[in-house]
Structure 1
């Protein structure tokens, strides 16, 4: 059986990059931690909220790498000298990745009450009509 790609459809020109983005998203390997929400806050804005209880501002980094929003968290192990009778809260690291479409910009990030909010905005699309002149060859 032959794998169908976007390039194999004759009316889908220039979508090779979209296909690569879809493959990269499928391979991103995001596990279920930390849990997150994505909400649409207006017609052209979004908010990603991650549950990051126990992480301080300096434990989290947010970067945009090749049209991909990457949020990383790394807690320092502060258990030295402490004796735990039960340790159910582990200091673990995480990485969450979100592929951004063209025109989506990352705004501010706010942390509070164990939640990290990252605001995104999308440029309003402009309707473009272009007339192509035909010349004799």
Structure 2
């Protein structure tokens, strides 16, 4: 990867506007190129088309669950390098295990601290300290 060639792309799949707007703002501020999808419908097609570096994926979406989207992305070998961070208000250990078993790269419980999210995103994208 060439340094500074392009901003890492982050697709935010979140149905709650206030959370999505906050995530969009934070990702922009962190130097990423965010895009948003408000429902799970069409998520797989969009991930295939845009091939984001990271998907911030809400588990509880109105039409298709984040777990289903995660599982389908992981079933597509062409998307093996797409990182998935599941986000849910149900942050139990069982939910976390389920998400990771389905192939998520990370799991964060809502509400989350901004710094907690920042650290997790940096970990998943392998971003160093930017030096």
Please give the range of the TM-score, normalised by the shorter of the 2 chains. under 0.3
Q: Which has the higher strand share?
A: 1
The structure showing larger relative contact order (alpha-carbon pairs under 8 Å, at least 6 residues apart) is 1
TM-score by length of 2: 0.22
What TM-score comes out, normalization by structure 1 length? 0.22
Specify the structure having the higher radius of gyration (Cα): 1
